[in-house]
A and B are shown apart, each in its own frame.
Chain A
Amino acid sequence: SQQGEEDPQALSIQEGENATMNCSYKTSINNLQWYRQNSGRGLVHLILIRSNEREKHSGRLRVTLDTSKKSSSLLITASRAADTASYFCAGASGGSYIPTFGRGTSLIVHP
């Protein structure tokens, strides 16, 4: 079963605007990660938030986690054309901590 369903499936914004992507999951998680995939490339890890954390920052990225709602959000502030990519959330549960990926949100940032 998927431990990550991103919403929206696609997002188109102008450079300088903020981009918000949401992720919902089904069962309790140990941690949740966000990855980025540029066209034709492998996934790149962006940030990991643990189940006992509520918010985490990394540069222009801000991730929140609401375990009561089983949801997470990724905010990219002051977006740039270079942020154009697909973004995936991946929840890890159980003893193995193996992440399960969602279908991704396709973000297009227009210059």
Chain B
Amino acid sequence: DAGVIQSPRHEVTEMGQEVTLRCKPISGHDYLFWYRQTMMRGLELLIYFNNNVPIDDSGMPEDRFSAKMPNASFSTLKIQPSEPRDSAVYFCASSSTVGFRSADTQYFGPGTRLTVL
């Protein structure tokens, strides 16, 4: 398996523009997570899905952020409109249910480095 795939790897945009980040989880994994990493705040969980359904989006910073998972092999994180403070590395991760446990080891993608000017 190729692992978790994210695109683009780097994104530079201007304030006010819409940004869409994409993620393909590992085949067969039923959990998908979106994280944001900054020096100031560390690694923050934004939202996670189970079987394509959003379970907890309490980490989404504000209404400008939205995430979808239309099928088991694809998810998007959208920021509209983008602001300079959204500059960060965004990671997608996936994991699978293990027995009765809901989620276990997470497999991270390489991340998307977003710069909003």
Contact = CB atoms under 8 A, between A and B. Distances in A.
Contacts of A100: 45
B42 interface: yes
Interface in A73-111: 88, 92, 95-104
B110 A41 contact: yes
A101 B103 CA distance: 14
A42 B42 contact: no
B5 to A, nearest CB: 11
Contacts of A45: 105-107
Interface residues of B, number: 21
B102 interface: yes
B102 A88 contact: no
A45 B3 CA distance: 13
Contact of B91 (A33, A43, A103, A104): A43
Nearest to A98: B103
B34 interface: no
Contacts of A61: none
Interface residues of A, number: 23
A20 to B, nearest CB: 21
B42 A104 contact: yes
B108 A44 contact: yes
A33 B101 contact: no
Given A42-B109, A88-B43, A96 B103 contact: yes
Contacts of A104: 42-43
Contact of A43 (B48, B104, B106): B106
A97 B42 contact: no
22 contacts: A31-B104, A41-B110, A42-B4, A42-B93, A42-B110, A42-B111, A43-B91, A43-B106, A45-B105, A45-B106, A48-B105, A92-B103, A96-B103, A97-B102, A97-B103, A98-B48, A98-B56, A99-B103, A101-B43, A102-B42, A104-B42, A104-B43
Interface of A: 30-31, 33, 35, 40-45, 48, 88, 92, 95-104
